[in-house]
Structure 1
């Protein structure tokens, strides 16, 4: 098609689309009526009759319009018309042909069946050709302004996407790419399928700016590798999940590139063992501390879905506590949810809540977890993470709680920052509590890697930076981390309580760690953008290296020693690690709290190392004055430990 004819077709298509619905309907009825009458005249001519009888013509035209109406052709949008409707209309015309033949026989026509069959052939030919031509014409209206895209995956999802894109104002499909030899150089939905080796050539030849991945059943590991490969080819990458990515009338949504956390994970998410999942929750009275945080809130959702006897929430943030309480009461109105505003360091609050609720299970998720903030506020970080864990362990023991699980961190293993060291001390507190003679409480710990999508994690940060146009900030090009989904994290905590015998650490087998640089590039690609660098100066988003934060490590670990053993879940490991006996632990924590009271960072580091010998301090920083309120709380805590 020449440029001139294409422009004429686009103008005509635009005018047809702009017509109001009654005008379009009248136009279709008029054209169809003339075409059916013309089909009668042609049939009479072919069968040797000079002219069709007026009565038969009226029957053919009215019957034909009725057949098209019953097939809902006048209620369908022609450019999205499905072939099933045309087939139904053809069946109606076939019945009309039989009726016309019988009527012509009774009227004494010379060749009634030749006449009727001639009409049927002409009418059906008109029906199919007219709708097909109009559909092609209307689909030409936006082609020059649409983005040229390729589709990766020539299967059913890709074919559906290509057919929908032919009607899209935003996308113009050019070709397919696929790895399967059975598809190569064949035509799917009217587009040629090329091997992956031809990607660079076809992208340059057709100026393809985006590739839409139409592999809805592909694994997260394959998705991540494929996205990285396509991004390196210098094209934007979009993701097509299923037909929900299309409008009701068949047009493709512009937001095909929505990021799914499973694609960033790089492995298949670990499913819970339902035999373990409800043991400590179903019908039990459960307490969650830090219930307004990312992990705490997801824990509450998982718990409510298991129908506990009642659920108590503790958080020191009024807004966070209100938000999760309102959500839980809206989604699970039959679950008794009780919200308590306060700190886990408040022993009286914990005692009152546990006693009034007759708590069976505690999930202790309350903690300060952001490394740079805790590094700048070491006293507050130690007070909350260490004293909070001590208060929970003591309250659980005194209250006769059956199960108590601590949410810990991989930063507790050979820590290089105060946050990690404080979480390791919290683990020691729970280990010591598990060793108390005669305790009825099963104390255990769960160690996480980085949780995708949690507050303060790298994924929300990158999403915000991408939305601002960059740059994406990474502390070091070689930094790597273990990752897990927030649902996996909550499910691990719940299952750990069911598997606990007392004093163990549970860790999830999270596969291979992920390089943060690769994660950033994957997110840029899945956002439909390209990285701007020396090789691609016209890209969209730049990656900037800002240096490691104080106390940050290039890599994290999950185990201190080699004593991991299998648990009741095939993807969860059980570990028993070195612990301190009760009196010695109490004495050293008392020294730590006295050092906190003096706000001497050097002394704090010394006492931290006495508790956690593998702790390696960051470079020395100036001390920061301690507020009077914090001093009073630490003094009270020291007296409590002494008592």
Structure 2
């Protein structure tokens, strides 16, 4: 029905109600009334004109009555009351008297019929139409303010696909109550039972302030059902108005594995970044590009994006210039190979950076096992080159990205990163530059990580391949890893290896099961196959060796490792001779040195 047709229909309906109201009122007072009298005519015309006048003033004809509530009822009350008052005034002026009994009865009948006609439509929509539309029966987890808002919007959204039929809440004071006519059936541990009992097809988690641990507990129960699980947006997105409470999204693996956000020390970061020249190596990679995004929020004077792959550097350059076009940050790109020492010196000479974040590295474990010489060239020689160039040109702070695989390494990749850490600690002793390294575990969603691989396998119908049923890893999100790197630069005194409190490690097979469930598939249908541990891998990773551990945190969720032995002459030997060594010999040499199984047990440098 068109807008104008709807208005005329309401005007005709109200006109009939008004005229009927005054007639029935007169009949109630005078049952023998047969003909239309002049006083009755005056009251009828006044009521009719008055009702339409006040309806226009209070926009009664523009209300969406399928969503009628207390506000609309108040508008009806005002329109009818003011209409009766106006009619009384006209009676006094024309007839010199007011028939209070007729006006009182008219007011009551008028209110009943006008209000009833409007709310009948809502009742009709909420009962008859709701039952005729095939909707998915939905369970809402959380009977607080957010859950109530979700339920109300689902009830009112008659074109939507979800029908709320029950709440779940661990608050025992809410259980067995009805909210908006929807029962609170029980606690989280009863999700599976209630889902089966009520034939639930969809579960909405409506607690925006959930911690990661709480969300994991809830999802664990939801995963026992066949219902699709979604959640409302995060609290900060709701508060900033980016999204509304009924814009549900699928639960992501990052929601389950990501940890509580680290609060940054904004003042200390601003002191060493704001209005400074910052250079990021590997700026086109997962971590490097996120460091660029995060560091730009602190308004550096110049941001130099250095990388070897032109496509990835072009992508981050375009993104940064678009995202920060309203700032004064000078964003510059440099295509350079870390093995080209002269080029690095030239870049340092031109831009004179105050801070360097070294994120460039080869990180793929199996590939580096097959090409150990490439790991040496990029992870060791490249690190030495950029560190030496930084020292020569007076860089204030140098932060290197390391990995948990550098602890008791069993792979070429981990070994070269451990030797790179030794180089960084050595340069810190020899230079005025503050050199530090930052270790963290696997990064969710980074290129080459296990999660994109699992997702592709699920999309292809499976099976998902897991190396070993007992394989465990630490995980963190790309933004969290980048924030740690930035915070480490502010904490740096020189020579430290910073380590994040990574929480509990995650079984890879559990991660695979969660991804299958999150994708809406059945674990049995997709299947999981165990392919065996790959060369260089180990079942679990460590963040610090026992002798490296400092018990106390130097910053919330950040530890610092104790310094250990450095083998700089041996590293120099590898750098000079790696091209002439057989791959197996080179691999063994790297592993022995990184694990301090040094030939002739000579500890050349100790800190």
**Fold conserved (TM > 0.5)?**
yes
Residues 143, 169 of structure 2: 8 Å contact kept: yes
Q: Which segments of 5 or more consecutive residues in structure 1 lack a partner in the other structure? A: 1-18, 616-643
Match of 1:141 among 129, 146, 165: 129
Give the aligned partner of residue 109 of structure 2. 122
Alignment of 1:48-127 (within 5 A): 48=30, 50=33, 53-108=40-95, 112-127=99-114
Inter-partner Cα distance in structure 1 for 2:45 and 2:108: 18
Kindly tell me the number of residue pairs found equivalent between the two proteins.
580
Q: 1:337 aligns with which of 309, 318, 331?
A: 331
1:160 pairs with 2:149: yes
Kept in 2, the 8 Å contact 1:185–1:193? The answer is yes
Q: Which residue is equivalent to 1:10?
A: none
Residues 84-132 of structure 1 deviation map (CA, whole Å, 9 limit, x = unaligned) = 2332332232222222222234443886222222222222222332222
State the SS of the aligned residue for 2:165: strand
Q: 2:166 aligns to what SS in structure 1?
A: strand
> Does the alignment pair 1:554 with 2:539?
yes
CA distance in 2, matches of 1:456, 1:94: 71
Instruction: State which of 266, 271, 277 in structure 2 corresponds to 1:279.
Output: 271
After superposition, where does 1:505-520 map in structure 2 within 5 Å?
Answer: 505-520=497-512
**Aligned equivalents of 1:235, 1:601: Cα separation in 2:** 52
State the 1:79 CA deviation.
Answer: 2.4
Secondary structure, counterpart of 2:271 in structure 1: coil
Establish whether residue 231 from structure 1 lines up as the match of residue 223 from structure 2.
Answer: yes
- C-alpha displacement of 1:338: 1.0
Asked if 1:192 is matched to 2:183, the reply is yes
Determine the structure 2 residue equivalent to 1:591: 577
* Residue 454 of structure 1: how far off its partner (Å): 2.4
- Once the 2 structures are TM-superposed, how far is the Cα of residue 279 of structure 1 from its aligned partner? 2.9
Whole-angstrom CA distance in 2 between matches of 1:406 and 1:116: 85
CA contact (8 A) 1:589 1:611 kept: no
- Report the secondary structure of 2:304's partner residue: strand
CA distance in structure 2 between the aligned counterparts of 1:462 and 1:32, rounded to whole angstroms: 63
Distance in 1, Cα, partners of 2:258 & 2:569: 45
Match of 2:486 in 1: 494
Contact 2:149 2:245 in 1 (8 A): no
- CA 1:174–1:469 in 2, change beyond 3 Å: closer, same or farther? farther
In the TM superposition, what is the alpha-carbon distance from 1:367 to its structure 2 partner?
Answer: 1.0
Instruction: Name structure 2 gaps, 5 residues minimum.
Output: 598-607
Check whether the contact 2:373–2:583 (CA below 8 A) recurs between aligned residues: no
Helix, strand or coil: the match of 1:237?
Answer: strand
Query: Whole-Å Cα distance in 1 between the matches of residues 529 and 57 of structure 2?
Result: 63
| Counterpart among 409, 413, 430 of residue 415 in structure 1 | 409
Choose the corresponding residue for 1:29, options 3, 8, 11: 11
Deviates more, 1:451-460 or 1:418-427: 451-460
1:297 to 289, 293, 296: 289
CA RMSD of aligned residues (A): 2.8
* Cα offset, 1:45, TM superposition: 2.6
Spell out, residue by residue over 1:150-207, the C-alpha distance to the aligned partner (whole angstroms, 9 max, x if none).
Answer: 1111111111111221234301111112211111111101111111365444323331
Paired with 1:66 and 1:452, the residues of 2 have a C-alpha distance of 63
Larger deviation, residues 229-238 vs 280-289: 229-238
Is the contact made by 2:25 and 2:106 (CA closer than 8 Å) also made in structure 1? Answer: yes
| Cα distance in 2 for residues equivalent to 1:392 and 1:480 | 33
Q: TM-score, normalised by structure 2?
A: 0.88
Shift of 1:212: 1.2
1:35–1:379 CA distance, 2 compared to 1 (3 A): farther
Cα offset for 1:281?
Answer: 1.0
For 2:2 and 2:537, how far apart are their aligned partners in 1? 64
- Residues 416, 594 of structure 2: 8 Å contact kept: no
Conserved 8 A contact 1:507-1:572? yes
Once the two structures are overlaid, the 10-residue window that deviates more, 208-217 or 261-270, is: 261-270
**How far apart are residue 472 of structure 1 and its match?**
4.1
Contact 2:142 2:205 in 1 (8 A): yes
Corresponding residue to 1:131 among 90, 115, 118: 118
Give secondary structure in 2 for the equivalent of 1:53: helix
Aligned to 2:564: 578
* Partner residue in 2 for 1:363: 357
TM-score by length of 1: 0.83
Secondary structure of the structure 1 residue equivalent to 2:437: strand
